[in-house]
Amino acid sequence: MGMKGFSDEFESPEHYIIDITYKIWEQRGLQLIRDWYSDDCPVKTPMSYSVGVEPVISGTQATLDEFQDRHLLADDVIVGEWDEGTFYSSHRVRSPAHKSGAGLFGPAPKSPQPVTMLTFADCICKANQIVDEYLVRDNCGIAIQLGIFPAEQAKRMIDNGNRDGAMAAEDLVSRWSGEYFECGEAALAAPVLAAYEKRFGALEGLASWQEHYDRAVRFEASGHHLSYGFERMAQWDAARLQGLSDPKFKVHHLIVKHTAGRPIRVAMRWSLTATHAQASMFGEGSGARVALLGVSHFELRDGKILNEWCIFDELSLYAQLMLK
């Protein structure tokens, strides 16, 4: 039995998201974007904003020109029912590929260079189409794998005309916000919300937030980061957050899924605005107000976070500091 308003070929929201992704990207069905995206669909990333089908087609083609063998593997699809006939999907995508062509990350290399991309695509879907999309990819992690200093990559993007980093932090957050959406038993996400309020909302350290995490936590994050346990996770936080002050943290969507035979899964789109007051990995303290725009997924065990995936576009933060 199909879904209301969707083609009978799709058995579930998860099937819809995984199947159209595969057909567009791996089967090179770029013209199918005209069928599966609405004519006025906005697509928002930390460094860009577009409306309509044509930018989606051209952006997909540009990525495929640069990474011609890119695969899109669904780590997970966490779905919340918005209302009858509409669902919200948070899709975590793992993409092994080789940079073989020219594009966002510079000229074509002499020989293909392997990378693995981690992307979150949050989509609102209705009447067999994506009608709104929020997209964040670990572009900083891609640059690192290609041997490019992140600040150099951010400057290259600015030089190529991307000046969204000059926008006020509050305007970047407004673009990333949309209508607040919550689905599932929010009480089950209490450890997630408490941990992020401490880590990002209050910029507190390990002693404050470790109670919300399993001691065996696996933490995968932007900057091509993977670690296990509290200490290295705290080091990731410190490198990115220690120069910030006056934080303002917001949650823009929250989905909690409790499926038999699986851990409790949580998807959350979020933002942090803060003052870059002191030196950090992103540069000297400038006093500029900056925005971190991210998506995170979690798996819980016995009321604690066991697995976390946390991506914000670090290149966007470099660019904001260069342009302000």
Each residue's pLDDT tens digit, 247-285: 999 999 999 999 989 999 999 999 999 999 999 999 999
The beta-strand segments (E) located in 37-156 are 42-45, 48-51, 73-83, 86-99, 113-126, 129-137
Based on the fold, state whether residues 258 and 120 are members of the same structural domain.
Answer: no
Domain stop point among 165, 186, 218: 165
Torsion of CA 85, 86, 92, 94, to 10 degrees: 60
How does the average pLDDT of the chain come out, rounded?
96
Residue 123: inside a domain: yes
Which residue intervals of the chain are DSSP H helices? Answer: 13-21, 33-36, 53-66, 139-145, 150-159, 169-177, 190-196, 206-209, 230-241, 314-323
| Confidence category of residue 181, pLDDT binned at 50, 70, 90 | confident
150 and 22 housed in the same domain:
yes
In one-letter notation, the amino acid at residue 201 is G
Q: Are residues 140 and 193 in the same domain?
A: no
Domain end call among 112, 130, 165: 165
Residues 150 and 253 in one domain: no
Q: How much is the average pLDDT of 29-47?
A: 97
Do residues 212 and 304 touch, judged by C-beta distance below 8 A?
Answer: yes
Residue 176 predicted with pLDDT over 70: yes
Same domain membership, residue 181 and residue 139: no
Tell whether 100 is covered by a domain: yes
| Domain CATH for 43 | 3.10.450.50
What gap in Å lies between CA 210 and CA 200, rounded to an integer?
A: 14
The tokens 């640059």 sit on which residue?
143
Whether residue 14 has pLDDT greater than 70:
yes
pLDDT (0 to 100) of residue 216:
97
Question: Is there a single domain that holds both residue 218 and residue 75?
Answer: no
Residue 286 resides in a domain: yes
Range of the domain at 91: 13-165
Residue 112 sits in the same domain as residue 234: no
Q: How many CA atoms lie within 13 A of 287 on its CB side?
A: 0
Residue 278 lies in a domain: yes
- Whether 116 shows a pLDDT value over 60: the answer reads yes
42/142 same-domain check: yes
Same-domain status, 37 and 20: yes
Tell me whether residue 219 is in a domain.
Answer: yes
What is the predicted pLDDT for the residue at 85?
87
Average pLDDT over residues 285-314: 97
Predicted confidence (pLDDT) per residue in 208-226, tens digit: 999 999 999 999 999 999 9
Residue 44 lies in a domain: yes
Could you give the CA distance from residue 202 to residue 245 in angstroms, rounded to a whole number? Answer: 9
Confidence at residue 3, expressed as pLDDT on a 0 to 100 scale = 83
pTM of the model: 0.96
161 shares its domain with 191: no
pLDDT value, residue 1:
42
Q: What is the pLDDT of residues 125-163, one digit of tens each?
A: 999 999 999 999 999 999 999 999 999 999 999 999 999
189 assigned to some structural domain: yes
Rounded to an integer, the average pLDDT of 290-298 is 98
pLDDT band at 2 (very low <50, low <70, confident <90, very high): low
**What is the average per-residue pLDDT within 113-128?**
97
Shared-domain flag, residues 27 and 153: yes
Query: What is the pLDDT averaged over residues 308-320?
Result: 97
User: How many folded domains does the chain comprise?
Assistant: 2
* Residue 2, domain member (yes or no): no
Domain final residue, candidates 165, 193, 221:
165
Give the confidence band of 171 by pLDDT, cuts at 50, 70, 90: very high
Residues 160 and 174 in one domain: no
